[in-house]
């Protein structure tokens, strides 16, 4: 591997005695002796200099609709160049990308430095770059340097577990446009299924990012008999309403058997719909069902009059009908950000439609 794309010094760490270092990127704050790595396995202490081993090394790239992230209220219809580097700070029993996130030691990597990644997004007519598939916080410097290479005509979005320090969230907010945070369950679920002792920093990071003006959406992966308690979900929905705002889009995503949980059945759609009702009862305006193609909740309706303002089929937008940022029928404002990156927007009077 080229020296120019390996060993980038980590931006957030504290030197300690005996050439040890303390990482400040995620809340684990690993203390790492010389020659060793943190829990994520991609940040290594090289004689007191803490380095990111995956800098400029992509393990997966693809062009996706931004709705696949899922981001439903940011840059509707935009195409994003998705990129991942190996590694994670979680070890989820249900990980769909475990081969690149957890069991990644021998996964093939491609040299893809930040400037080339930014150029590739433009060359492939993408409106943005999505840092996704694995946990982007773990390749923070790679992501940040790529964001710094992009111009104002390119948006940058994270798909994240949200497990980052407040310092990381504050730094990230200076470059990031939007984030989908996957809140996986209650504290015991995180301990049992994700090897995470305390999920509290996830909520703190979400607040920090939202307060800084980053567009935030929340995903809840629902696993039968694991994290589907309606009262626990109700408490989380109340927190979202109170701390992030009732217009925060919330996605309830269907679990499908994966990794170490092959024996657990897919989530019943009725369970998802019941939890969606809980979210609405708690005052959230925009609630969606994920991993259920064709579900009626794919589209965005006006919370007041029920008019469909963004019609989706799968991850494709069929129509986008807002007048001056509001419902064309009753005028209620609809929370949609990043419209400057919306794909194929065509002005028709004060109404905008997307061309496909």
Q: Is residue 346 over pLDDT 90? A: no
The predicted model gives 217-245 an average pLDDT of 98
Q: Give the pLDDT score at 343.
A: 83
pTM for this model (two decimals): 0.94
Number of neighbours of residue 333 by Cβ within 10 angstroms: 13
Q: Give the pLDDT score at 353.
A: 32
Least confident of 3-7, 135-139, 187-191, 226-230: 3-7
88 is in an annotated binding site: yes
Give the CATH superfamily of 57-297.
Answer: Aldolase class I (3.20.20.70)
- Please, what is the average pLDDT of the chain? 93
126 is in an annotated binding site: no
Q: Is residue 23 over pLDDT 50? A: yes
pLDDT tens digits for 50-100? 999 999 999 999 999 999 999 999 999 999 999 999 999 999 999 999 999
Alpha carbon distance 206, 244 (integer Å): 8
Owner of token pair 């203390």: 31
Q: Give the pLDDT score at 350.
A: 30
155 is in an annotated binding site: no
Q: Give the pLDDT score at 105.
A: 83
Domain limits, the chain: 3-52, 57-297
Q: Is residue 348 over pLDDT 70? A: no
pLDDT tens digits for 319-338? 999 999 999 999 999 999 99
The predicted model gives 24-31 an average pLDDT of 98
Q: Is residue 3 over pLDDT 80? A: no
**Closest residue by Cα to residue 114 from 154, 67, 57:** 57
Sheet holding 43-46, edge to edge: 8-9, 49-52, 43-46
The predicted model gives 341-350 an average pLDDT of 53
Q: Give the pLDDT score at 184.
A: 94
């Amino acid at each position: 591997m080229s020296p120019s794309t390996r060993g980038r010094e980590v931006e957030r760490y504290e030197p300690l005695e005996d050439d040890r270092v303390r990482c400040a990127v995620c809340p684990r704050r690993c203390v790492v002796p010389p020659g060793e790595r943190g829990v994520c396995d991609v940040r290594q202490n090289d004689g007191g200099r803490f380095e990111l081993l995956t800098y400029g090394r992509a393990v997966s790239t693809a062009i996706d609709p931004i709705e696949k992230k899922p981001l439903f209220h940011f840059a509707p219809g935009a195409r994003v160049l998705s990129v991942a580097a190996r590694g994670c700070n979680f070890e989820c029993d249900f990980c769909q990308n475990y081969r690149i996130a957890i069991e990644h030691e021998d996964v093939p990597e491609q040299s893809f430095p930040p400037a080339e990644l930014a150029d590739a997004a433009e060359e492939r007519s993408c409106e943005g770059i999505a840092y996704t598939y694995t946990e982007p916080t773990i390749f923070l410097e790679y992501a940040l340097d790529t964001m710094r290479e992009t111009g104002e005509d390119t948006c940058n979005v994270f798909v994240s577990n949200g497990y980052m320090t407040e310092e990381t969230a504050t730094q990230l907010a200076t470059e990031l446009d939007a984030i989908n945070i996957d809140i996986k369950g209650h504290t015991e679920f995180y301990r049992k299924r994700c090897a995470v002792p305390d999920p509290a920093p996830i909520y703190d990071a979400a607040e920090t990012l939202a307060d800084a003006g980053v567009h935030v959406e929340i995903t809840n992966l629902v696993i039968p008999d694991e994290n589907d308690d309606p009262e626990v979900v109700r408490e989380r929905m109340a927190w979202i309403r109170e701390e992030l705002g009732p217009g925060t889009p919330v996605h309830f995503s269907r679990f499908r058997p994966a990794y170490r949980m092959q024996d657990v059945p897919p989530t019943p759609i009725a369970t998802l719909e019941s939890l969606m009702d809980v979210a609405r009862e708690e005052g959230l305006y925009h609630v969606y069902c994920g991993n259920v193609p064709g579900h009626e909740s794919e589209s965005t309706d006006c919370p007041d009059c029920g008019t469909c303002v963004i019609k989706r089929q799968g991850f494709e937008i069929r129509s986008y009908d807002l007048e001056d940022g509001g419902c064309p029928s009753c005028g209620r404002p609809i929370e949609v950000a990043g419209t400057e990156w919306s794909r194929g927007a065509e002005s028709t009077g004060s109404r905008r439609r997307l061309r496909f």
